[in-house]
Structure 1
């Protein structure tokens, strides 16, 4: 295992963690690409859109390392002057020295300032906190992202703990002007989601029946309470299937010979559909009946376990590319409001 990159850049202490909340981790985007043959899914933010917006608001490159805070409840003290931005789930109170500050906007901080985030009460599940300069942790296999399953990346391969000190790269830590994302460009969170998917690779008619696939698109899927960064699980549903068994792959018709899984793949584990997240497993023997469009993966990252529901909408490759273009449009500096 090797750690590389950024060793020539000066760093300064940026944040001291007082209360890390449920499972706050350091992530960068797009994470560890091209390592599935070694057993690594990319890690990175579960909601790559709010993550990148937070970075752009404080003047970082979109993929710079920042914090992912599931469900909110977070407290840290600033150790230097700079900018911070909190984006993501709604219904969260963010305060600086007990004074309310807005989300989706860069906020100046000074040494000793106390930054708190409440539990997110409204739609959405994860918050993203970016600091100017970007969080500075060692790169492991080309990424700073925390991969909790493998115990690598981020801060010692683990979630943050009280008294942890995070450094940031120097050069952008002085107080300066930031940006705000206009309200009409902010993603809309809900408890009843529509998520765009592409068919297959194991769809109808070879695996699902035509009626099964129609049910895949027409059903309202409930997000199971056991969902996490590795996988988002839906309530069980019994499909008819176009074959009686998986033959040599296994007894259930959802069984296939082991193959590589895509990020956002919707796997059929028997009667349970599971969407693979950034910490998911790279291969296996379950049918991938559909794949979430890359530009829509942020929605999976904001699903609240045990509460939200999902409807799936099939799109084609051209439409998926259009969704990607819209996400890039939001991230352009000219679309942001300078403060």
Structure 2
């Protein structure tokens, strides 16, 4: 079907939601940058790699709006011709009109088709669904991403519900080009993860001991059930700390004067490490012992609460750049396999 042409009217109905799952949201990458001074973390997809690949597979720019589907349960009726791709968590049995379709590969849809997926058995936790043309929700502060805590972006700042209708942008009339990401470039989703981090900003001996750092990078941290887009909570741990209290910042040694948190920062609230997600607090007063490097942030979106474990591996700036370059290589459309 590579010779057919997609022709659509502006803002054409793309999907009507039949089953929205537990918290499906509209997200775009990289979210609303430059808004931290106003109290907004960027939002955007928890797994930016899967979201961007899904967009590339349907011919969109990598930053077009997609649907982020936690746990995988979702179904929708198609209202416009185009391409769809699903990337992310395994075991969700995505289907088109009841016939299973593969992940990491685009497929053609027509009006009246039913796209659905069941509960993702894993490994992995989130799926990303892209539609050719992207989803045309209004931009708020320069992004279409849903920020659930602030209630902005997406559709009325909330998760999707049954009956929501998503419109799509209008791509230039073009030949349909189904594609897939080669197996060699696809990520693996284990149950026991290794996530690359860089020290700081509070790994100074003033705050934590060398033993605290050694414990941090050697422990297998369990992902807590109370994890969401704001923060991924890990199991508690008794840190030694280099001081007995936080001084003017508070009574616990994990307290520091309020400062701007980094996306992917791992702050320690008392005895509980938390990885700050895209809807997290933009500032606060807890020690940030390490920060997840950009190329590894996608892994946070696929951690399965209550089951998966994490080990953190310290890397330097050069390795962080190399990891980022590898990620961008996989996102180059020239490396796709045409079907």
Relative to the length of structure 2, the TM-score reads 0.96
Instruction: Extract unaligned runs of 5+ from structure 2.
Output: 1-8
**SS of aligned partner of 1:334:** helix
Report the counterpart of residue 127 of structure 2 in structure 1: 127
Higher mean displacement: 68-77 or 174-183: 174-183
Report the counterpart of residue 75 of structure 1 in structure 2: 75
CA distance in structure 1 between the aligned counterparts of 2:317 and 2:67, rounded to whole angstroms: 31
Instruction: Extract unaligned runs of 5+ from structure 1.
Output: 1-8
Report the counterpart of residue 159 of structure 1 in structure 2: 159
1:231/1:173 CA distance change after superposition, 3 Å: farther
Report the counterpart of residue 6 of structure 1 in structure 2: none
Q: CA deviation at 1:178?
A: 2.2
Q: CA deviation at 1:206?
A: 1.7
Q: CA deviation at 1:86?
A: 0.2
In the TM superposition, what whole-angstrom CA distance separates every residue of 1:259-289 from its partner, at most 9, and x where no partner exists?
A: 1000000001010000000000011110000
Report the counterpart of residue 251 of structure 2 in structure 1: 251
1:284 aligns with 2:294: no
1:173/1:243 CA distance change after superposition, 3 Å: farther
Matched-pair contact (CA < 8 Å) for 1:254–1:287: yes
Q: CA deviation at 1:10?
A: 2.4
Matched-pair contact (CA < 8 Å) for 1:88–1:127: yes
CA distance in structure 2 between the aligned counterparts of 1:244 and 1:172, rounded to whole angstroms: 63
Q: CA deviation at 1:173?
A: 7.6
Written as runs of structure 1 = structure 2, the 5 A alignment for 1:98-137 is 98-137=98-137
CA distance in structure 1 between the aligned counterparts of 2:245 and 2:296, rounded to whole angstroms: 32
**SS of aligned partner of 1:128:** strand
CA distance in structure 2 between the aligned counterparts of 1:92 and 1:173, rounded to whole angstroms: 32
CA distance in structure 1 between the aligned counterparts of 2:34 and 2:170, rounded to whole angstroms: 30
**SS of aligned partner of 2:118:** strand
The runs of at least 4 consecutive aligned structure 1 residues that moved more than 6 Å come to none
Report the counterpart of residue 10 of structure 1 in structure 2: 10
**SS of aligned partner of 2:18:** strand
1:293 aligns with 2:293: yes
Report the counterpart of residue 150 of structure 1 in structure 2: 150
Report the counterpart of residue 33 of structure 1 in structure 2: 33
Report the counterpart of residue 188 of structure 1 in structure 2: 188
In the TM superposition, what whole-angstrom CA distance separates every residue of 1:176-212 from its partner, at most 9, and x where no partner exists?
A: 1121001111000011000000001001412110011
CA distance in structure 1 between the aligned counterparts of 2:95 and 2:179, rounded to whole angstroms: 18
**SS of aligned partner of 1:112:** coil
Q: CA deviation at 1:174?
A: 7.2
Report the counterpart of residue 3 of structure 2 in structure 1: none
Higher mean displacement: 314-323 or 172-181: 172-181
CA distance in structure 2 between the aligned counterparts of 1:97 and 1:294, rounded to whole angstroms: 37
CA distance in structure 1 between the aligned counterparts of 2:12 and 2:176, rounded to whole angstroms: 17
Report the counterpart of residue 199 of structure 1 in structure 2: 199
In the TM superposition, what whole-angstrom CA distance separates every residue of 1:218-248 from its partner, at most 9, and x where no partner exists?
A: 0000000000000000000000001111111
In the TM superposition, what whole-angstrom CA distance separates every residue of 1:42-69 from its partner, at most 9, and x where no partner exists?
A: 0000000000000000000001001000
CA distance in structure 2 between the aligned counterparts of 1:112 and 1:320, rounded to whole angstroms: 45
Report the counterpart of residue 236 of structure 2 in structure 1: 236
Relative to the length of structure 1, the TM-score reads 0.96
CA RMSD of aligned residues (A): 1.1
Report the counterpart of residue 209 of structure 2 in structure 1: 209
In the TM superposition, what whole-angstrom CA distance separates every residue of 1:46-102 from its partner, at most 9, and x where no partner exists?
A: 000000000000000001001000000100010011000000001120111101111
CA distance in structure 2 between the aligned counterparts of 1:161 and 1:99, rounded to whole angstroms: 24
Report the counterpart of residue 86 of structure 1 in structure 2: 86
Matched-pair contact (CA < 8 Å) for 1:28–1:44: yes
Q: CA deviation at 1:11?
A: 1.4
